Amino acid sequence: MVVEKDGKLQLDTIGANGHSCGLEATVRDMKAVTQEGCKISFERSLDRVSINPDPATEAACRGPCGSRAFFQGDYYREAPACRAVLVKHERDRFTALYRGRKYREAAEALSALLNRCGRFMYWLPDEAQVRNDLALTYHHLSDDAACLGVLSPLRRAFVEDERITSRAFTPVDEGDGQAMVRITRFNWKTCGGEVPD
């Protein structure tokens, strides 16, 4: 989401299966109306802006969006430390520490990255991969409780009944999804968790 100084709003989101949503409007007094007639209100809090479409203009608000994309919700200002190039640098640093068997330092580095930037990561494969890397690092530190803890947000999507899980991915996510199912189930079991047959 970009709001320029003159109040011009440009909002682009990506939903499931690569569907997208794009809006342009001018914001005045925390409200906007798009060319399609979609009325939007904004609520600002300490660390986010919430965007809410007017239910009376729902059809106009859905118009510029793919069937699996939407724009309503909470938007956070991206932390400078979470820009892609810096995240890659942190991931590379983790990899070097991990390969050097400096597991404590590797876990601290990746845990800090997840805590700081997790909300800005796309869940598949980015967040899922970070969680699996961190889980395996905890396992090397003989802390299987921490391993299962960091994987627990992925449990329902990746560890439960594999036949159900495999049907849950959209075509765009299926390749990454199937790979992450195998990795997460392996790591979950390695750390002592039960994996359904």
Give the chain's radius of gyration (CA, Å): 20
pLDDT value at residue 138? 98
Q: What are phi and psi of 51, to 5 degrees?
A: -110, 125
Respond yes or no on whether the N-terminal peptide bond of residue 125 is cis (omega within 30° of 0): yes
Structure tokens belonging to residue 107: 């876990």
Strand order in the sheet with 31-33: 31-33, 39-44, 48-53, 73-76
Contact 135, 150 (CB under 8 A): yes
Are 47 and 76 within 8 A, CB to CB?
Answer: yes
Tokens of 187: 């790591």
List of residues 6+ apart from 89 with CB closer than 8 A = none
The whole-number pLDDT of residue 5 equals 65
Q: What is the CATH number of domain 80-190?
A: 1.25.40
Sign, CA torsion 77/90/85/182:
negative
- Residue 167: per-residue pLDDT: 59
Secondary structure E strands in the chain: 2-3, 8-14, 20-26, 31-33, 39-44, 48-53, 73-76
H or E element at residue 126:
none
- Counting other chains too, the contacts that 79-85 makes at CB distance below 8 Å and 24 or more residues apart are 79/116, 79/117, 79/120, 81/116, 81/117, 82/116, 82/117, 82/120
Check residue 28 and report its DSSP letter.
Answer: B
Residue-range domain boundaries for the chain: 2-76, 80-190
pLDDT in tens, the chain (197 residues): 566 667 788 888 877 667 788 888 888 899 999 988 999 999 988 888 899 999 999 889 888 888 878 888 888 887 888 988 889 999 999 999 999 999 999 999 999 999 999 988 877 788 999 999 999 999 999 999 999 999 999 888 778 866 656 556 666 666 677 788 889 999 999 999 998 87
- The first and second tokens of residue 55, run together, are 């239910």
